[in-house]
Structures are given as C-alpha cells and as structure tokens.
Amino acid sequence: MSTSERPVVGSLENECPVDGRALSPVPITRDLVERVHDARIAQPAWEALGFEERARRLERAARSIVERRAEAVQLLHDELGKTPPDALMGEVMGALQFVRDYVVMARPYLRPRRLPLSPLAFPGKTGQTELVPRGVVGIITPWNFPLATFFRPVFGALLCGNAVVLKPSELSPRVGAWFGRVLAEVLPPHVLEVVQGGPDVGAALLRSRIDAVTFTGSTTTGREVARVCAERLIPVSLELGGKDAAIVLSDCDFDRTVAGVMYWALTNTGQSCGAIERVFVEDPIADRFVDALALAVSRLRVTGDPRTSDVGPLANARQLAIVEAHVNDALAKGAVLRCGGRRLGVGQWFEPTVLDRCTADMLVMREPTFGPVIPVRRVANAEGAVHATNDCAHGLTASVWSRDVARAEAYARRLQVGTAYVNNHSFTGAVPAAPWTGVKDSGTGVASGVFALNHYTRPRTIAIDRRDTPDAWWFPMDARLEELGNRLAETLLGNPLAAVKVPVLIWQRERSVMDLVRSDPQRRSILRRVVSRLTSRRE
C-alpha cells in the first residue's frame, strides 16, 4: 500500500507561535502496525548494502537538507517561531558535518573483531565478534529542536543498518514530514517510516514489533517508556530533561562569561535540555555580574517578528504558562526582577528575563523552566556552588567559568553530570564523537559517540572449529581430565614444567571421548589415525 493510499483518521492542528495563525493540518497515522511491518521487510536489504553504501546515501540526504535549508528554516519559523539565524545555525547547518563525522567515528568501531583464543586451551578454534543491527528502531523525538534531534538517533540507527520508524512531536509534525520526504529520495522504500500523532501513537509504537527504542523528552514520560520497554524486554535509550547550572567564579573572564551565560541560557528561547537554567555566582562579583547580565539581556531585540528578533517566541501556550508560573513563583518568594518578566503582544512571546537573589526553594531553581529565564543565586564560594549544583534531581550538563583552568577543571570533575564544561557550555551536543548523556532524572541513554552505537547494534560471535578430533574436555569425566585441568592451571600460573605432559594428556582424552561413542572397529580406526598424526608431528 502506498503512502498516499494509507487510511488516516483525524489530524494534528497547530498554530504558529509567532502570530497564532492556524497551520495546515497533518493527518494522524492510523496504519502504524503496517508501517512497522513494511520497515521490517525493508531492513535486511538495507543492511545488505554494507556500511560504505549506507554512509554514501546518508551523506547525500544530509547534503540535501543543507541545500534545501530555506525550506527547513521556513518550517521551523512556522512551527516553532525560530529566528532564521537560530534555525539555520542551531538545526540545519549541522546535518552534513554531523553525518561525515559520524561515519568516520563509526567505521572502525563497527568492524568485526577477532576473538582472542588461547591455542593451548582452545586448539584449532577461531572466531570473530561483529556488531549487527537490531532490526527496526522506534524513535520518538521532542519539539524543541524538531530537526536537529533527528540527526543523532536517525542517522545513527540507519548507519548501523537498521530500519527506523520515527514519530516526531505532535507539536512539530511538519518538520518531521519534510525530513522524511528528504530522506526518502535517497533511501530504499520503507527503510524510514514517519508516523504522526500524539501520545496514543507513541504508545502504539512502543507496543508494536520494534526491536529498540530511543526516546527524547520529559522525565515523567521517560519513566513510562522505560516501563513498557522493560515489559517487552527491548533496549531503550532515554534522553530526558535537564536543569543545567553555570558556576561563575570570581576570577572569570568577566565579559566573555556574561556573553556565554546569556547565550547558553537564551538560545532557542531557552527551550533546550542543555540550556543554562541556574547560575551560581560567587559573592565578590555578584553585584557586578548581575548588573552586566541584566544590561546585556535588556539589549536583546524582541520585536514580535523572528526575522528581526534575537530571541523568538516560546513554541506553544503550555510552555509559556510554565515560564510565567516559574517567574511568578520566584517573585512571590523574594527574587528580584532585573529585566523582562512579562508577555509581549500576540503569539507566545515572553521577554528575556533575569532574576536575582533566587533561592533553592523556588521552582525556577528546581524544575525545568524551558524558557528565556536566567535565575541567579549568590554563593559564598565555589564549594557552595558545587554542592548546590549537585543538589538537583537532574544531571545533564554543567559548566565552570574561571581563568584558572586547572582549578575550574577540578571543580568540573566533581559535578554529577554527563558532561562538564570549563568556560563554555553544551557545545558538544553537536559533536558526534562526544557522548551526550546524563545521570539521575536526566536519563540512562547515550546519544552520540561510539557508546550510542551499542544501542543500535547487538554483538554476534561466529566461532569455528576446524579440527577433526574431539575436544579434550568432552565426556567422560575421568581422572585424566582432572589431571589435564590441573596441569593447565599450573601452566597458567607460570610453571613451565607443567606443560610437558599436556599434549599426551590431550591425546589420551581425545581417545577416551571417541571410545565412548564409537564401536570397536571404529575405535581402532580412529586410534590408528591419532597415533599416525602424533608420529608425523614428532618426525
């Protein structure tokens, strides 16, 4: 059944966060089971193409994404309200380099490995271990980076030889559909299937005949995804929320630190699991730092039009409500508003906000805000900042800002996160060789790096025995076998004399094994062969 003939029911209705206008409806997928089946049928031929051909096709797909960047930027504007520079630099441009770097990283890792076998303990035997695709990988992605979040799991799973069933967020289905069309131009039919819908479609995908799951989203949903995958005994990679901290030490490169913290807190309107959502600054520079940060943030353009704004709108009304609730909670508990703090015009616009004198009990310091808010908490020293950073349910990334790199690195190593940075933040999210992972409520998954390839493959060992005699440890369990075992043990422990009788014991044991299963004529025949072989070896 072709895609155009497949029956659907209902559609996803979305509004542009810039101005509230209705976007074209996207049909909800009804025939998910059939699509998973189609992907399973298509997978073996895709695997058979081999690594190099798969790599060539994926590079062609990534090249097409970059060539058609204007289409992608427009879709990201319509569905997420992204500014053109943010959409271009934060999502589209990374596709081609990402595939190229991923191929270079994966090529040696996916090669078969020779199995090291002792010729003494395992005579005549060889083997190799290879990584083979799991089959069909289900991938469920979020809305905040609706194009870029495809790259790591989709390109990784496909490069390893899997077929993929991709469910984009119901808040950004058009970007997902466009991505599917672009890849369909270079992939065999059904190797990538895109299914559309809300949580019910995601739940149906989890319970379909897929072989592994990659989920990126909230911690709450991630726990449910993990439960379903545990019931089905299929592997799951969970990339969940973050509450990233920046520790600003008194000896930091001041102006650069202000610029870096502002960027990593507000890029993509703060809607990133790796965004800076907590800032701990040492008391000696706190007044000066907050003044400079608030001044810089107040200079950012927020015009109501992403084409002329530095910071765009929030992606949806639900996220806007969370941001407002966190800001209001902080102000009610004593935080000082230094700039921003309110809605702007139509759509989902909210002023970039700096909150000073925040405390640990505020929502904005405890729960993911996912918006253009920078809460600052003053600390007496770096020790207090490290303790406060680790006192959090999440542990994705964090950063330490200081001119003393060695000191900052020492503090960074004490942070309970997947990636710790010195004098920067979150940039490794775009580096294929760098694992993107977290601890605690940030999930158990690993995206990127060779460790991620283990999720999309499983090891398979091929072992071959080329001898025409039995193994010496087969039945019967007699005294000679015990003696052989003891002599082998002594040999391993470094006693060279213990190995002298090992060949004879092995020959005697081989004869005992054959005596157990052969009739008398056969036994004499095998005995003659063994004696002849031993005699020829001595000669």
Rounded CA separation 433/404 (Å): 27
Q: State the Cα angle at 63 between 62 and 64, rounded to 5°.
A: 90
Is CATH 2.60.40.10 correct for 244-429? Answer: no
Enzyme catalytic residues: 239, 273
Q: Which helix H or strand E contains 194, and what residues bound it?
A: strand 192-194
Q: Is the pLDDT of residue 314 over 80?
A: yes
Q: Which pair of tokens denotes residue 25?
A: 């409806």
Q: Which helix H or strand E contains 192, and what residues bound it?
A: strand 192-194
How far is the first Cα of the chain from the last one, in angstroms, to the nearest whole number? Answer: 71
Q: Is the pLDDT of residue 484 over 70?
A: yes
Q: What average pLDDT does range 249-263 have in this prediction? A: 98
Q: Give the contacts of 411 (CB within 8 A, at least 6 positions apart).
A: 247, 382, 385, 386, 400
Across the strands, what pairs with 511? none
Q: What is the DSSP letter of 253?
A: -
Q: Is the pLDDT of residue 341 over 90?
A: yes
Q: What average pLDDT does range 470-478 have in this prediction? A: 95
- Check if the beta carbon of residue 433 is closer than 8 Å to that of residue 448: yes
Structural domain boundaries in the chain = 29-239+451-460, 244-429, 468-538
pLDDT in tens, 85-101: 999 999 999 999 999 99
Q: Are strands 26-29 and 113-114 parallel, antiparallel or unpaired?
A: unpaired
Q: What is the DSSP letter of 430?
A: G
Would you place residue 157 in the very low, low, confident or very high pLDDT band (cuts 50, 70, 90)? very high
Would you place residue 119 in the very low, low, confident or very high pLDDT band (cuts 50, 70, 90)? confident
φ, ψ for residue 455 (rounded to 5)?
A: -75, -30
- Examine domains 29-239+451-460 and 244-429 and report if their fold is the same: no
Structure confidence at residue 3 (pLDDT):
38
pLDDT in tens, 234-252: 999 999 999 999 999 999 9
Structure confidence at residue 242 (pLDDT):
96
Q: Which pair of tokens denotes residue 282?
A: 């040492």
- What is the residue type of 196? Q
On average, the pLDDT of the chain sits at: 94
Give the distance from CA 454 to its chain's centroid: 11
Q: Are strands 244-248 and 276-282 parallel, antiparallel or unpaired?
A: parallel
**Which string of b and e fits 136-166 if b means at least 16 CB within 10 Å?**
bbbbbbbbbbbbbbbbbbbbbbbbbbbbbbb
Would you place residue 536 in the very low, low, confident or very high pLDDT band (cuts 50, 70, 90)? low
Rounded CA separation 406/408 (Å): 5
Q: Of 90-94, 119-123, 486-490, 503-507, which range is least confident? A: 119-123
Q: Percent of the chain beyond pLDDT 90?
A: 91
Give the distance from CA 400 to its chain's centroid: 24
Q: State the Cα angle at 489 between 485 and 493, rounded to 5°.
A: 170
Q: What average pLDDT does range 429-454 have in this prediction? A: 94
Structure confidence at residue 4 (pLDDT):
37
Residue 63 in 3-state DSSP? helix
Would you place residue 531 in the very low, low, confident or very high pLDDT band (cuts 50, 70, 90)? low
pLDDT in tens, 324-333: 999 999 999 9
Structure confidence at residue 518 (pLDDT):
86
* 447, burial (CB in 10 Å: exposed 0-12, middle 13-18, buried 19+): buried
pLDDT in tens, 391-433: 999 999 999 999 999 999 999 999 999 999 999 999 999 899 9
pLDDT in tens, 491-519: 989 998 998 999 899 999 999 999 999 87
Q: Is the pLDDT of residue 182 over 80?
A: yes
- Check if the beta carbon of residue 185 is closer than 8 Å to that of residue 68: no
Q: Of 154-163, 403-412, 521-530, which range is least confident? A: 521-530
- Report domain 29-239+451-460's class: alpha beta
* DSSP string for 11-80: EE--B-TTT-PBPPPEEEE--HHHHHHHHHHHHHHHHHT-HHHHHHHHHHHHHHHHHTHHHHHHHHHHHH
- Check if the beta carbon of residue 21 is closer than 8 Å to that of residue 15: yes
